[in-house]
């Protein structure tokens, strides 16, 4: 059973007598439970060896746990280990697809179809592909709240589209894109679909087989894991066709002085060099923790918080909500007539952590007609009491009170 | 420096007034202006600052854009304070302002209203806001200097 008070006990940063924290910025990165910190520390303390390199006990142990971690992480999204490539984060994963798949298959006149709510990491690599290959970027028009509708996607889809690049859950407005239907329509048109799952995999059940996506990228640090680890899921036949971005130790089977090179199979061929071993072990522990809570419960908890916050905000008149029909754990808002960063600084004064700005999705401002917002993003450890306090502080936000902080 | 300028109420009013009624807002299309776009300092503030320099004098300063209270008010005050000053005088004021922002000893007389920002150093995340316009004018002046040398 999901018990938020029990969950909170696992996050020591939320239980400090001398440091209050209401953390509403999990969309940026999540807090880490003690079990994840312990696994990282255990690796460095007790078996800090490289993987697949040494015929001695601590290296064998590290290798065994590392391989198990990959299976565990793959299983979390219903993929196989061969389809689960470790990268340094979702950004690296999305760049890998763009450079090694996009650059290989996109040709002049092709269209890369994307949305106006993409995060910079999802769309910028494709700008480069489009430029290099003389391909075009087209956008699926969003609804006025910034959501992708299947009707609008169908209309935007056509035979020249080679790649559909889309976020699963928008990091600014939190809408869930209808990925399963989008993938099916993309495939009917002979196109591939690349999904940025950075804001979905941590918060809801994601099954790559069910969605039938070609690629899915996500980061470990947004789902209770350490920073420095990301995942690129790719269909095996596509990964087999892709060349690595980096070459080096661990990714090759053999090479000789004439330059003949035999690469290992996927995923190893993409992972030259020593990986973030402790980060991957930590992510596996984070996944164990999430599995134990149950992703449906995680989703339900965020839903409850969202509904509760939206109901409270509807009753006060100094706050504008930009995504009142959002489905995820992200609320975009502003205090009327107050610049978002001023509001964020005032909230910080009350130990409430939120993000202010355009959240790296710089095209979206034209859709929701505001340049920047306060983003409040929930996770498993947030409570209704925290929301009460958040709303009460929001009601105090005035220019006077914001200016008072600096004089 | 009058005691009035030590009164937090007065300082707050000053900042709010410059935020709500920014001076020198709106850009000029006159060719005599040099301009700089300050949009890379932070994720949020996005302002354009213009300066018209004639015979070693800052004849006019203008700005526009999207920015927070601190950025807007500090840039507005910067314009009022430096407009009409000779370049070497302006440079002295700018140096004093940055000293104040770094919490070093500074000449309060020279900074006039801008001392409203003397406590910004206590909120390190707002230092960029309080200096965005000042960095812009500094760059424009330096650019003018190097053009002269060429």
Query: Between A295-314 and A277-293, two packed helices, what is the crossing angle to 10 degrees?
Result: 70
pLDDT of residue A251: 87
State residue A372's pLDDT score: 85
Distance of CA A308 to the CA centre of its chain: 24
Nearest CA in chain A to B127: A406
pLDDT of A65-117, one tens digit each? 999 999 999 999 999 999 999 999 999 999 999 999 999 999 999 999 999 88
The answer, for A407 touching chain B at a CB cutoff of 8 Å, is: yes
**pLDDT value at residue A325:** 92
Tell me the domain boundaries of chain B.
Answer: 3-149
Q: Are residues A302 and A392 in the same domain?
A: yes
**Strand-pair partners of A163:** A112, A192
Residue B1 has pLDDT above 60, yes or no: no
Which of B15, B117, B126 lies closest to A345 in CB terms?
B126
Residue B44 clears pLDDT 80, i.e. is over it: no
Average pLDDT on A338-343 reads 92
Q: Which residues pair with B37 in a beta bridge?
A: B48
Q: Name the 3-class secondary structure at A117.
A: coil
Q: Are residues A134 and A102 in the same domain?
A: yes
Task: Give the integer Cα–Cα distance in Å for A238 and A244.
Answer: 12
Report chain B's mean pLDDT, rounded to a whole number: 90
pLDDT of A368 over the 90 cut: no
Q: What is the mean pLDDT of the segment spanning A364-379? A: 81
> Which of A358, A360, A399 lies at the smallest CB-CB distance from B16?
A399
The residue assigned the tokens 């707050």 is: B12
Residue A198 has pLDDT above 60, yes or no: yes
Give the pLDDT mean for A362-386: 85
pLDDT at A400: 92
pLDDT at A369: 66
Q: Is the distance from CB of B79 to CB of B61 less than 8 angstroms? A: yes
pLDDT score at A311: 97
Report pLDDT digits (tens) over A6-29. Answer: 999 999 999 999 999 999 999 999
Contact predicate B133/B35, CB 8 Å: no
A278 with A367, same domain? Answer: no
**Can you give the CATH number for the domain in which A329 is found?**
3.90.1150.10
pLDDT at A363: 67
Segment among A273-277, A332-336, A358-362, A401-405 with least mean pLDDT: A358-362
pLDDT at A53: 77
Interchain contact, B12 vs A358, CB within 8 Å: no
pLDDT range class, residue B2, cuts 50, 70, 90: low
A122: closest CA among A206, A267, A187, A219?
Answer: A219
Residue A24 placed within a domain: no
Compute the residue count for chain A.
407
Per-residue pLDDT tens over the stretch A25-73: 999 999 999 999 999 999 999 999 999 878 999 999 999 999 999 999 9
Q: Is A399–B69 a contact, with Cβ atoms under 8 angstroms apart?
A: yes
Instruction: Report the pLDDT averaged over residues A235-259.
Output: 91
On whether both A239 and A338 belong to a single domain, the answer is: no
Say if A10 falls within a structural domain.
no
- In CATH terms, B3-149 corresponds, of 3.90.1010.10, 3.40.50.970, 3.20.20.150, 3.20.10.10, to 3.90.1010.10
Q: A100 and A222: one domain?
A: yes
**Domain co-membership, A313 together with A282:** no
A17 located within any domain: no
In this prediction, residue A67 carries a pLDDT of 96
Q: ipTM more than 0.95?
A: no
Tens digit of each residue's pLDDT (9 = 90 or more) over B80-114: 999 999 999 999 999 999 999 999 999 999 999 99
Whether residues A360 and A304 fall in one domain: yes
Question: Of A32-46, A238-252, B35-49, B56-70, where does mean pLDDT reach its minimum?
Answer: B35-49
| Helix residue ranges per DSSP H, A140-276 | 150-156, 179-188, 208-211, 236-241
pLDDT for residue B43: 57
Question: Beta strands of chain B (E only): which ranges?
Answer: 33-38, 46-54, 57-66
A208 and A315 fall within a common domain:
no
Indicate whether A286 and A301 sit together in one domain: no
| Average pLDDT score, chain A | 94
pLDDT, residue A367, reads 66
Question: Do A284 and A302 fall into the same domain?
Answer: no
**Chain B partners of A358 at a C-beta cutoff of 8 Å?**
43-44
* Count of domains for chain A: 2
**Are the beta carbons of B126 and A406 separated by less than 8 Å?**
yes
Of the pLDDT bands very low, low, confident and very high (cuts 50, 70, 90), residue A359 is: low
Return the active site residues of A.
360
Min Cα separation A335/chain B (Å): 13
- The last residue of a domain, from among A233, A258, A291: A291
Cα angle at B12 between B35 and A399, to 5 degrees? 80
A229 inside domain = yes
Closest Cβ–Cβ partner in B46, B67, B69 for A403 = B69
Nearest partner of A79 among A234, A193, A186, judged by Cα: A234
Domain co-membership, A259 together with A316: no
Residue range of the domain that includes A375: 294-404
Distance, in angstroms, between A341 CA and closest chain B CA? 6
Same domain, yes or no, for A248 and A271? yes
Q: Regarding beta strands A330-335 and B46-54, do their DSSP bridges make them parallel or antiparallel, or are they unpaired?
A: unpaired
């Amino acid at each position: 059973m999901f018990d938020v008070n029990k969950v909170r006990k696992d996050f020591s940063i939320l239980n400090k007598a001398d440091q209050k924290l209401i953390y509403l910025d999990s969309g940026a990165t999540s807090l880490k439970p003690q079990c994840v910190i312990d696994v990282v520390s255990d690796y460095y303390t007790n078996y800090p060896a490289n993987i697949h390199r040494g015929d001695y006990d601590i290296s064998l142990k590290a290798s065994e746990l590392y391989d198990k971690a990959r299976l565990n992480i793959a299983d979390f999204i219903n993929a196989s280990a061969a389809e689960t490539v470790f990268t340094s984060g979702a950004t690296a994963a999305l760049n890998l697809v763009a450079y090694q798949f996009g650059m290989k298959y996109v040709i002049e006149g092709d269209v890369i179809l994307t949305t106006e709510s993409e995060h910079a990491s999802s769309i910028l690599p494709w700008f480069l592909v489009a430029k290099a290959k003389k391909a075009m970027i087209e956008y699926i028009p969003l609804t006025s709240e910034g959501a992708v509708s299947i009707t609008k996607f169908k209309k935007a889809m056509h035979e020249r589209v080679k790649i559909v690049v889309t976020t699963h859950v928008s990091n600014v407005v939190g809408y869930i894109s209808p990925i399963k239907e989008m993938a099916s329509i993309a495939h009917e048109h002979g196109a591939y679909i690349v999904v940025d799952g950075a804001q979905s995999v941590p918060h809801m059940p994601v099954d790559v087989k069910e969605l039938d996506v070609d690629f899915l990228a996500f980061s470990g640090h947004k789902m209770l894991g350490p920073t420095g680890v990301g995942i690129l899921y790719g269909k095996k036949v596509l990964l087999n066709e892709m060349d690595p971005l980096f070459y080096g130790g661990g990714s090759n089977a053999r090479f000789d002085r004439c330059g003949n090179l035999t690469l290992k199979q996927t995923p190893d061929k993409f992972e030259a060099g020593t990986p973030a071993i402790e980060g991957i072990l930590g992510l596996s522990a984070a996944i164990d923790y999430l599995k134990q809570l149950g992703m449906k419960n995680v989703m339900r908890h965020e839903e409850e918080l969202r509904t509760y916050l939206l109901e409270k905000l509807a009753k006060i008149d100094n706050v504008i909500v930009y995504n009142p029909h959002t489905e995820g754990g992200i609320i975009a808002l502003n205090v009327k007539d107050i610049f978002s960063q001023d509001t964020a600084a005032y909230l910080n004064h009350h130990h409430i952590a939120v993000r202010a700005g355009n959240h790296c999705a710089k095209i979206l401002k034209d859709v929701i007609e505001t340049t920047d917002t306060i983003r409040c993003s929930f996770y498993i450890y947030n409570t209704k009491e925290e929301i009460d306090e958040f709303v009460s502080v929001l009601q105090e936000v005035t220019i006077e009170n914001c200016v008072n902080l600096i004089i | 420096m009058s005691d009035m300028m030590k009164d937090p109420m007065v300082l707050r009013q000053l900042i709010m007034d410059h935020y709500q009624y920014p001076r020198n807002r709106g850009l000029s299309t006159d060719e005599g202006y040099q301009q700089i776009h300050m949009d890379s300092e932070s994720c949020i503030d996005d302002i354009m600052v213009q300066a018209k320099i004639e015979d070693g004098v800052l004849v006019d300063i203008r700005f526009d854009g999207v920015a927070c209270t601190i950025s807007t008010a500090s840039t507005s005050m910067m314009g009022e304070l430096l407009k009409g000053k000779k370049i070497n005088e302006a440079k002295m004021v700018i140096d004093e302002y940055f000293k104040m922002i770094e919490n070093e000893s500074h000449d309060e007389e020279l900074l006039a209203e801008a001392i409203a920002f003397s406590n910004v150093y206590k909120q390190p995340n707002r230092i960029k806001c309080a200096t965005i316009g000042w960095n812009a004018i500094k760059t424009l002046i330096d650019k003018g200097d190097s053009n002269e040398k060429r």
